[in-house]
Copies of this chain bind each other. A is one copy, B any other.
């Protein structure tokens, strides 16, 4: 029986074996295959690691295989591990299939002991070098394999330098190093209770196991969580012949990129240190030289290196990040991998490579991660700046902003109108604060979650916002906030980063967003590839225009409630809600109609020729009323103030009405279509305003495309009744205005029951739009505000959840309902249009799901439109890959 092969010589593998040999191992094999100067060695597979991780021991046969490959390596090099005359030294490095830089462990110079160090000294004729290497090995091995604290050795080294009156390592002599080697061995003995292992074969085994184990070290686990890397990939182990960049001034070690990783400029870029080992580069003690200097100092080697770089980039068809060592005038390649880059660089490189014919458009699209674009689309903190974070909150709306602290909306408006930059800081915001939010650069609240008023409004406006920064204690009366003892007064400058939730005292330099031509090009290629339409969620002409500029193909969600909270409207809305009879209500509705009509006309005009889905009033009505608690407190206060009898009585009456409207669980209360189904005239007024606006435009020769959306439907009959009303009003207006208009009436699918009975509902809907925010809330039983403030963070920490389900669609639960609703809806009505307008519509992984279930479009906030265009293309490319598997 052929047993599993766990070890591959570099000349046995290739770049296609990444999963088995890891990134580093497969690329070393590939470079070997390409005939590049790679120090020989072998790779122990990720499967061996996984076995070790599972069973706590080597798999059967691995030890023998290592022996065999080691022997072959010794034969090839003509050296033996631990040999006292001419010892083979090796490095032992981790290397997973997906790069996790710096997360796992490496041991260099392995094979040295009291005997072989003398062999190394003889062979190199450099005793100082040999003992320096030996002490480095002890130091590194003891730290990584034996768990001895690194700075125990560093202290001994410092002591020695002091004793010898020197400042630099290079000033120490061979004798000094010899002495330190002994001292280091003492430390190991004292700390671990055992001698430093002198058998090189034992050293090798211990090092290999240490690398295996490092797969599970906490920082590696955290890293994998953060970057969504599966925990069962395992790492490979690369055992490679040592070459030395520290064998004198004809030796060097360095790192280079085939293009500039910051800007994408098509110019080689790299750094090296003369007479140094790789770890010295990483340690950043000496200032490295640039590649241009190499061209001057070692022109022949520079020539070789650039040839290799060119060869590698062409071979891999991507920008490479390369490690090399020059040992006494001879070039060795130690690593190549696809280089990490900024979003801007990624775009430029992709476009350049398409233009030079190196890759095709699909490949270019595939190489840009949609989420990367986010950094280009909002102002962001300059990464070169240093700053101190004084508090953290929920990243409620992305982007960074700088401004002076103000504590109320009126001050914000007043100062904002003078052109001053302010940040509005509130416990939480209400519709009364809207003019302040508009005037501010950004919003910071100490309360509320990702769907709090501030968060929703700010996201809609594309304004940075941090919510629920609980450490920020606001004292409204004294116009200060305190955070961990620090007092910040009104007028002091702060910076907020809504992308990360960081609050910073003082001004941090920001980088402004730009959509450059590279992005335009890549997005246009993405448009050729994607099948999903991309619309936007927009409630204002500004948002609509911005989204159209970003390439939105219509509006998927235009929320009327956001048009009702202006100072000129809220009082009318309140009168409408609190009306004592039908007549008074009708009066208020009549006042609202022309205001809404104007709003709709503006938005429809901007979106001329593109569909605009307008959702009828959705939130519970009490959201438009004064706060119940505030009212009760105010009443208590008035009790103690003499002579306010009249005001008291008026407020008391108001309280009774507000109390009657208040609800235990507003999310699940009288809202959505339930308002229209139980309160006459409200639906009719909204539809009238919409259709009149559309007919106005039609008469001006425009092409308005209205889709009326009924929210929160659970029962077919609800939609039927609301649809009947809408159609009746619409036909009436069209007739009265003597024009023609095509329009659709559909519904949001945002309740599990709607999804489960989508066959019934589909019979009376022209379209479904999945409201996955509410659908997630009801399917999971998670109130978003409460969950994000209370238990979601811990759920993510302890692994109950891998993602925030409000950011990335819960495919197993919510997704099952979406899929079911798509199937049932299409069965009932094959012509039905299907879209999504929850925040998931801007999340790349969720977009992939939308593509897979066959939605017609996604809709997202204006700033996410480019992200969604790209993600939709990625989803389509995924299909191609799946189909060719």
Q: Say yes or no: B751 contacts A669, CB within 8 Å.
A: no
Residues of chain B lying within 8 A (CB to CB) of residue A579: none
User: Is A281 an interface residue, CB under 8 A from the partner?
Assistant: no
> Contacts A628-B629, A629-B628, A664-B786 known; A778 to B752 CB distance under 8 Å?
yes
Q: Which chain B residue shows the least CB distance to A672?
A: B781
Which residues of A757-814 have CB atoms within 8 Å of chain B's CB atoms? 757, 760, 774, 777-783, 785-787, 790-791, 794-795, 798-801, 810, 812-814
Neighbour of A783 across the interface among B669, B779, B810, B813, CB < 8 A: B669
Q: Which chain B residue shows the least CB distance to A447?
A: B659
Q: Shortest Cβ distance from A817 into chain B, in angstroms? A: 7
Residues of chain B lying within 8 A (CB to CB) of residue A628: 629
Report the separation of the CA atoms of residues A774 and B782 in the bound assembly, to the nearest whole angstrom. Answer: 12
Q: Say yes or no: B667 contacts A664, CB within 8 Å.
A: yes
Chain A 610-635 per-residue mask, 1 if CB under 8 angstroms from chain B, else 0: 00000000000000000011001101
User: Is A172 an interface residue, CB under 8 A from the partner?
Assistant: no
Residues of chain B lying within 8 A (CB to CB) of residue A267: none
User: Is A666 an interface residue, CB under 8 A from the partner?
Assistant: yes
User: Is A3 an interface residue, CB under 8 A from the partner?
Assistant: no
Q: Say yes or no: B669 contacts A790, CB within 8 Å.
A: yes
Neighbour of A633 across the interface among B633, B798, B800, CB < 8 A: B633
Report the separation of the CA atoms of residues A836 and B73 in the bound assembly, to the nearest whole angstrom. Answer: 69
Which residues of A649-679 have CB atoms within 8 Å of chain B's CB atoms? 663-670, 674, 677-678
Report the separation of the CA atoms of residues A636 and B633 in the bound assembly, to the nearest whole angstrom. Answer: 6
Instruction: Please give the count of copies of this chain that the complex contains.
Output: 2
> Contacts A677-B794, A715-B800, A751-B780 known; A756 to B817 CB distance under 8 Å?
yes
Residues of chain B lying within 8 A (CB to CB) of residue A718: 800
Neighbour of A714 across the interface among B664, B721, B780, CB < 8 A: B780
Q: Say yes or no: B632 contacts A810, CB within 8 Å.
A: no
Report the separation of the CA atoms of residues A300 and B800 in the bound assembly, to the nearest whole angstrom. Answer: 85
Q: Shortest Cβ distance from A456 into chain B, in angstroms? A: 13
Neighbour of A677 across the interface among B665, B714, B780, B791, CB < 8 A: B791
Q: Say yes or no: A781 contacts B753, CB within 8 Å.
A: yes
Report the separation of the CA atoms of residues A674 and B751 in the bound assembly, to the nearest whole angstrom. Answer: 22
Residues of chain B lying within 8 A (CB to CB) of residue A756: 779, 812-813, 816-817
Q: Which chain B residue shows the least CB distance to A794?
A: B678
User: Is A640 an interface residue, CB under 8 A from the partner?
Assistant: yes
User: Is A717 an interface residue, CB under 8 A from the partner?
Assistant: yes
Report the separation of the CA atoms of residues A795 and B786 in the bound assembly, to the nearest whole angstrom. Answer: 29
> Contacts A751-B779, A781-B753, A791-B677 known; A786 to B670 CB distance under 8 Å?
yes
Neighbour of A779 across the interface among B664, B717, B778, CB < 8 A: B778
Report the separation of the CA atoms of residues A142 and B576 in the bound assembly, to the nearest whole angstrom. Answer: 48
Which residues of A807-858 have CB atoms within 8 Å of chain B's CB atoms? 810, 812-814, 816-817
Report the separation of the CA atoms of residues A665 and B788 in the bound assembly, to the nearest whole angstrom. Answer: 13
Q: Say yes or no: A670 contacts B753, CB within 8 Å.
A: no
Neighbour of A670 across the interface among B791, B798, B799, CB < 8 A: B791
Q: Say yes or no: B786 contacts A752, CB within 8 Å.
A: no
User: Is A712 an interface residue, CB under 8 A from the partner?
Assistant: yes
Residues of chain B lying within 8 A (CB to CB) of residue A700: none
Neighbour of A791 across the interface among B639, B678, B783, CB < 8 A: B678
Residues of chain B lying within 8 A (CB to CB) of residue A782: 668, 714
User: Is A885 an interface residue, CB under 8 A from the partner?
Assistant: no
User: Is A637 an interface residue, CB under 8 A from the partner?
Assistant: yes
Residues of chain B lying within 8 A (CB to CB) of residue A640: 637, 639-640
Q: Say yes or no: B669 contacts A813, CB within 8 Å.
A: no
Chain A facing B: main interface SS: helix
Chain A 237-274 per-residue mask, 1 if CB under 8 angstroms from chain B, else 0: 00000000000000000000000000000000000000
Q: Shortest Cβ distance from A571 into chain B, in angstroms? A: 24
Q: Say yes or no: A666 contacts B665, CB within 8 Å.
A: yes
Which residues of A727-757 have CB atoms within 8 Å of chain B's CB atoms? 750-753, 756-757
Q: Which chain B residue shows the least CB distance to A750?
A: B781
> Contacts A636-B637, A721-B800, A753-B814 known; A781 to B670 CB distance under 8 Å?
no
Residues of chain B lying within 8 A (CB to CB) of residue A674: 790-791
> Contacts A640-B640, A779-B778 known; A813 to B633 CB distance under 8 Å?
no
Neighbour of A632 across the interface among B633, B666, B752, CB < 8 A: B633
Residues of chain B lying within 8 A (CB to CB) of residue A781: 667-668, 712, 714, 750-753, 774, 778
Q: Say yes or no: B668 contacts A667, CB within 8 Å.
A: yes
Q: Which chain B residue shows the least CB distance to A785?
A: B664
Q: Which chain B residue shows the least CB distance to A632?
A: B633
Residues of chain B lying within 8 A (CB to CB) of residue A783: 663-669
Q: Say yes or no: B798 contacts A677, CB within 8 Å.
A: yes
Residues of chain B lying within 8 A (CB to CB) of residue A795: 677-678
Report the separation of the CA atoms of residues A635 and B795 in the bound assembly, to the nearest whole angstrom. Answer: 35
Report the separation of the CA atoms of residues A640 and B760 in the bound assembly, to the nearest whole angstrom. Answer: 60
Q: Which chain B residue shows the least CB distance to A664?
A: B785
Q: Which chain B residue shows the least CB distance to A802?
A: B717
Q: Shortest Cβ distance from A472 into chain B, in angstroms? A: 14
Report the separation of the CA atoms of residues A817 and B794 in the bound assembly, to the nearest whole angstrom. Answer: 28
Report the separation of the CA atoms of residues A663 and B757 in the bound assembly, to the nearest whole angstrom. Answer: 31
Q: Say yes or no: B791 contacts A757, CB within 8 Å.
A: no
Report the separation of the CA atoms of residues A783 and B795 in the bound assembly, to the nearest whole angstrom. Answer: 25
Report the separation of the CA atoms of residues A795 and B679 in the bound assembly, to the nearest whole angstrom. Answer: 12
Q: Which chain B residue shows the least CB distance to A715?
A: B800
Residues of chain B lying within 8 A (CB to CB) of residue A780: 714, 751-753
Q: Which chain B residue shows the least CB distance to A473?
A: B656
Q: Say yes or no: B751 contacts A786, CB within 8 Å.
A: no
Residues of chain B lying within 8 A (CB to CB) of residue A663: 783, 785-786, 790
Residues of chain B lying within 8 A (CB to CB) of residue A785: 663-665
Q: Which chain B residue shows the least CB distance to A449?
A: B664
Q: Shortest Cβ distance from A4 into chain B, in angstroms? A: 30
> Contacts A632-B629, A640-B640, A800-B721 known; A667 to B670 CB distance under 8 Å?
no
Chain A 400-427 per-residue mask, 1 if CB under 8 angstroms from chain B, else 0: 0000000000000000000000000000
Report the separation of the CA atoms of residues A472 and B714 in the bound assembly, to the nearest whole angstrom. Answer: 33
Q: Say yes or no: B669 contacts A786, CB within 8 Å.
A: yes
Q: Shortest Cβ distance from A504 into chain B, in angstroms? A: 25
Report the separation of the CA atoms of residues A712 and B787 in the bound assembly, to the nearest whole angstrom. Answer: 14
Q: Shortest Cβ distance from A114 into chain B, in angstroms? A: 51
Report the separation of the CA atoms of residues A751 and B664 in the bound assembly, to the nearest whole angstrom. Answer: 19
Report the separation of the CA atoms of residues A766 and B876 in the bound assembly, to the nearest whole angstrom. Answer: 42
Residues of chain B lying within 8 A (CB to CB) of residue A814: 753
Q: Say yes or no: A721 contacts B629, CB within 8 Å.
A: no
Residues of chain B lying within 8 A (CB to CB) of residue A774: 781
> Contacts A629-B629, A632-B632, A785-B664 known; A779 to B798 CB distance under 8 Å?
no
Residues of chain B lying within 8 A (CB to CB) of residue A779: 751-753, 756, 778
> Contacts A753-B810, A779-B751 known; A787 to B669 CB distance under 8 Å?
yes
Residues of chain B lying within 8 A (CB to CB) of residue A799: 717
Q: Shortest Cβ distance from A764 into chain B, in angstroms? A: 13
Residues of chain B lying within 8 A (CB to CB) of residue A670: 786, 790-791
Residues of chain B lying within 8 A (CB to CB) of residue A629: 628-629, 632
Q: Shortest Cβ distance from A446 into chain B, in angstroms? A: 11
Q: Shortest Cβ distance from A666 into chain B, in angstroms? A: 7
Q: Which chain B residue shows the least CB distance to A675?
A: B791
Q: Say yes or no: B666 contacts A664, CB within 8 Å.
A: yes
Q: Shortest Cβ distance from A782 into chain B, in angstroms? A: 6
10 A–B contacts from the bound complex (CB under 8 Å): A668-B668, A668-B778, A668-B781, A670-B786, A670-B790, A678-B791, A714-B781, A753-B779, A753-B781, A757-B812
Q: Name the 3 nearest CB pairs between A and B, nearest first.
A: A668-B783, A640-B640, A665-B783
A interface residues, Cβ below 8 angstroms from B: 628-629, 632-633, 635-637, 639-640, 663-670, 674, 677-678, 712, 714-715, 717-718, 721, 750-753, 756-757, 760, 774, 777-783, 785-787, 790-791, 794-795, 798-801, 810, 812-814, 816-817
Q: A636-B636, A753-B779 are in contact. List 19 more A-B contacts (CB 8 A).
A: A663-B783, A664-B785, A665-B666, A665-B668, A666-B786, A669-B790, A670-B790, A674-B790, A677-B791, A678-B795, A714-B780, A714-B813, A715-B801, A717-B801, A721-B800, A751-B779, A757-B812, A760-B812, A774-B781
